[in-house]
Structure 1
Amino acid sequence: MTSVRTWGKRPGTVVQEAVPFNAEAAAAALADEEITPVDVFYARNHGPIPDVAANDWRLVVDGLVDAELDLSLDRLTSEFAEHEVTATLQCAGNRRDEFVAIRPIPGEDPWGPGATSTARWHGARLADVLASAGVTDADDLHVEFTAPDVAADASPAQAYGSSIPLRKALSREVLLAWRMNDEPLPRLHGGPVRVVVPGFIGARSVKWVHRITVRDSPSDNYFQASAYRLLPADADPGAGAGEGIPLSSIGLNSAILCPADGAVLPPGPVTVSGYALGGDDREIARVDVSADGGATWRPAELSASRGPWAWRFWSFTVDLVDGTVDVVARAWDDRGGLQSESTAALWNPKGYANYSWPRRRIVVGRS
């Protein structure tokens, strides 16, 4: 509870680790508002939380640029136009607990569906900052982000870093954000300035960014070269640099937030609800819900679209009768893609990318 109070999180927040602070929203709290309040928004960290005063923050832009930049927060906010993007961030380990139920995943936090949240982000387009440094489009270049937080779980221990392809960095949606939900970006969530890379795993939206380097290859930082890589099911989870598939775009996903798995409810109507996320630039077109384990399906009601980078809430009313009800959801994107069915088929030794159909069992009985 101390860590929840320390970091201003709402009571009921599920703390995976106190140090470094890693916590996800309680499912019921996450379901309350489509724009996630800051005190509910999930937190993923690999080291101590830096305390960088706004007046002391500097950003260096270097590497394969025509003109290196050294920007203060005042220069960043005054010299570059401010833009707003509503975007969902999702941890690569979101819904890992369902993988753990199949087979243990030692050393990894058993995140539920609450390692996903949505905010309104305000900041400068990264493309504008790179243009000021003389960077133009090139298919074979990458943009590396470096932060001051030192991660003890890296091998060897090092400051957190990551990279994205330059073609993504030049997209209009990628921001150097200094505001979150109309307030100055909180320290816990990367303040004074963080990168927001909509459509990519949260690990690429580097917090407290203080250096951006344009380079001819992906970052060799541990969290790009070794961590956040999708390994084969039979691989050694401690595989070395370059093994597996580097994670970038989020996959089509959905989750059931309410009611909880195993909930005991009386007969009668109950609303089943959750979120769906298209991933990268795909939007959610439909969510189907089954109340009989997947034998039959009906379309859920969808909330209004907030754009290609944000989730959509969905809801469906089930008429409960005595016994057990197996609820399943599945999402479709606007290109006809369907969410993966089997959790077991997606299992991997790091527990990343659980994009399978979510399932909940409800027990129905009269009190």
Structure 2
Amino acid sequence: MLLLLHRPVVLGLQQACRLRMTPSRLCIRACSTNDSLQPQHPSPSFSDNSSTRRWKAMGTLLGLGAVLAYHDHRCRAAQESPRMYTKEEVSSHNSPETGIWVTLGCEVFDVTEFVDLHPGGPSKLMLAAGGPLEPFWALYAAHNQPHVCELLTKYKIGELNPEDNVSPTLETSDPYAGDPKRHPALKVNSQRPFNAEPPPELLTESYITPNPIFFIRNHLPVPNLDPDTYRLHVAGAPGYQSLCLSLDDLYKFPKHEITVTLQCAGNRRSEMTQIKEVKGLEWRTGAISTAHWAGARLCEVLAQAGHQLSDTEAQVCFEGLDSDPTGTAYGASIPLTRALDPEAEVLLAYEMNGQPLPRDHGFPVRVVVPGVVGARHVKWLGRVSVEGEESYSHWQRRDYKGFCPSVDWDTVDFDSAPSIQELPVQSAITEPQAGDTIESGDVTVKGYAWSGGGRAVIRVDVSLDGGLTWQAAELDEEEQRPRKAWAWRLWQLQAPVPAGQKELNIICKAVDDSYNVQPDTVAPIWNLRGVLSNAWHRVHVHVAP
């Protein structure tokens, strides 16, 4: 049978090789293949005095013929005219009943069968139904990868009519194109949206974190707001008018200044990942920083809008001016009791370390909620309202919650857990760093410690031998007001390196004024989102001989 195939395959090979030599821009674009699959010698010869070599060559020829036959099929398909669709036709296919079509560039895809298979869930893909993928791929840059494009090709049904305006490219529709420049020292965890932390060695160089290296946590593109036209809308209580405040209006309220530490709920998430994979940015120890903030007290602004404490529970809901392509804004909420309490010192801040807020940190106005997780400090604040329930924002109800280590994404019930507000006691070592080689003699260990809810850090314990023995670190002398200890404490320990040790396992743990202490290991506090990671911080270093 192989002998019968010999002549047709050779003829097919010759035809395919001629096709390869035919100049066709479309064919080359659509049918480019790995160079390793291209024939290096288009006319192989056989030796009559070696049957073994003949059979080997025949096998090679058959395989090559199959590759080139497939190549011939792809090229012929590429040369056929694609079916054309108008944007109006595409937009009408936006539900399971009509079929779900999307576009990318000038190409049209029917992804109806793929919706339920989408790794991010059907709802995310449905946002693009009947329209272009570019705005969403720009927002979630992980999609713009070769393997994703390859997966998409199987769903192609045609192309957009060239007489229609072609969808914008990724570059022109990039919602992140106007993001501000960032300091090169920042350790980037994601570019789109931008999230980054200062390196440990800079984090505790000073009590106040300089603006350029203050950690950045963005959920969406950074809006570019005009301070002259900016307005903050504050919904009025029943019987009171709502407020529409310009920056100048906010300046008329008494200016209040406080020093506050902000910490992301995911700080030190990378340590949870070492136990078991979690969803979220791989923050190390730098998703925390401290600044001196100034602005109007939220309680005074709410009072002017007629709000006061009531017998029923209520929440103050914040909405930012940052939004995704659907117009969905970032939002969060805090209890009204905290917002109206002058002692809680919640700010509508417009200054950070004596300067107008940088764009990455909420210019022109953001919320600062001392002692509370960073997710509630809404940036680019556009609206404040008092509601009977907490914010319906995804980031309030479907994120930033802690769960039992046994809960996974198949069993999680976000409604069963409260939203994170105050954070637990925390500390970390910033010097030396893991893997460093230190000199024998004395070692200096530095770090930070902080606790949520205004609880003061009263002690930091440090061990150089993996927890067998402990020494109390020296705390900085910054004021810690009772129940209003909004900012961290920097600490250090100088101690002799134990004689004969070739390596040290350095550990720190903090204690607050309620005698809360950090748990010793990560595993018992592991959770699927990797939040509230506050186990003893451990650093392994080598000792120079």
TM-score (norm 2): 0.63
Structure 1 residue matching 2:212: 3-state secondary structure = coil
Shift of 1:49: 0.3
Aligned mate of 2:380, from 201, 208, 226: 208
The 5-angstrom pairing of residues 290-309 of structure 1 reads 290-307=463-480, 308-309=485-486
Equivalent position of 2:242 in the other structure: 68
Aligned mate of 2:337, from 148, 151, 167: 167
Shift of 1:23: 0.4
Aligned alpha-carbon RMSD (Å): 1.8
Shift of 1:151: 4.2
Equivalent position of 1:38 in the other structure: 211
Change (3 A) 1:316 1:249: same
Structure 2 residue matching 1:229: 3-state secondary structure = coil
2:392 equivalent to 1:217: no
Shift of 1:306: 3.7
Aligned mate of 1:310, from 467, 484, 487: 487
Shift of 1:305: 2.9
Change (3 A) 1:20 1:76: same
For residues 157 and 265 of structure 1, the distance between their equivalents in structure 2, rounded to whole angstroms, comes to 52
2:267 equivalent to 1:114: no
Kindly provide the amino acid, as one letter, of the partner of residue 69 in structure 1.
L
| 2:231/2:246 contact within 8 Å kept | yes
Aligned mate of 1:196, from 351, 368, 371: 368
For residues 318 and 44 of structure 1, the distance between their equivalents in structure 2, rounded to whole angstroms, comes to 36
Change (3 A) 1:280 1:81: same
Structure 1 residue matching 2:349: 3-state secondary structure = strand
Aligned mate of 1:275, from 436, 448, 457: 448
Structure 2 residue matching 1:223: 3-state secondary structure = helix
For residues 304 and 477 of structure 2, the distance between their equivalents in structure 1, rounded to whole angstroms, comes to 36
Equivalent position of 1:131 in the other structure: 303
| 2:269/2:530 contact within 8 Å kept | yes
Structure 2 residue matching 1:246: 3-state secondary structure = coil
| 1:86/1:306 contact within 8 Å kept | no
For residues 133 and 43 of structure 1, the distance between their equivalents in structure 2, rounded to whole angstroms, comes to 32
Shift of 1:157: 7.3
Shift of 1:315: 0.2
For residues 283 and 354 of structure 1, the distance between their equivalents in structure 2, rounded to whole angstroms, comes to 19
Larger strand percent: 1
Shift of 1:135: 0.8
| 2:237/2:306 contact within 8 Å kept | no
Equivalent position of 2:190 in the other structure: 17
The 5-angstrom pairing of residues 140-289 of structure 1 reads 140-151=313-324, 158-172=328-342, 173-237=345-409, 239=412, 241-289=414-462
Equivalent position of 2:508 in the other structure: 329
Kindly provide the amino acid, as one letter, of the partner of residue 513 in structure 2.
D
Aligned mate of 1:85, from 245, 258, 267: 258
Equivalent position of 2:130 in the other structure: none
For residues 137 and 219 of structure 1, the distance between their equivalents in structure 2, rounded to whole angstroms, comes to 18
Shift of 1:12: 2.6
For residues 232 and 514 of structure 2, the distance between their equivalents in structure 1, rounded to whole angstroms, comes to 38
Larger helix percent: 2
Kindly provide the amino acid, as one letter, of the partner of residue 328 in structure 1.
I
2:496 equivalent to 1:319: yes
| 1:257/1:274 contact within 8 Å kept | yes
Shift of 1:243: 3.9
Higher relative contact order (Cα pairs below 8 Å, separated by 6+ residues): 1
Structure 2 residue matching 1:245: 3-state secondary structure = coil
2:59 equivalent to 1:59: no
Shift of 1:339: 2.0
- Bigger shift: 273-282 or 258-267? 258-267
Kindly provide the amino acid, as one letter, of the partner of residue 518 in structure 2.
Q
Structure 1 residue matching 2:233: 3-state secondary structure = strand
Kindly provide the amino acid, as one letter, of the partner of residue 323 in structure 1.
K
Change (3 A) 1:268 1:11: farther
Kindly provide the amino acid, as one letter, of the partner of residue 57 in structure 1.
Y
| 1:306/1:312 contact within 8 Å kept | no
For residues 203 and 522 of structure 2, the distance between their equivalents in structure 1, rounded to whole angstroms, comes to 23
**Which segments of 5 or more consecutive residues in structure 1 lack a partner in the other structure?**
none
Highest CA radius of gyration, 1 or 2?
Answer: 2
| 1:277/1:284 contact within 8 Å kept | yes
Q: 1:37-83, CA deviations, whole angstroms, 9 ceiling, x for partnerless residues?
A: 001100001110011111121111116453311111111112x1000
Q: 1:237-270, CA deviations, whole angstroms, 9 ceiling, x for partnerless residues?
A: 4746524331110111111111111212221212
Kindly provide the amino acid, as one letter, of the partner of residue 15 in structure 1.
V
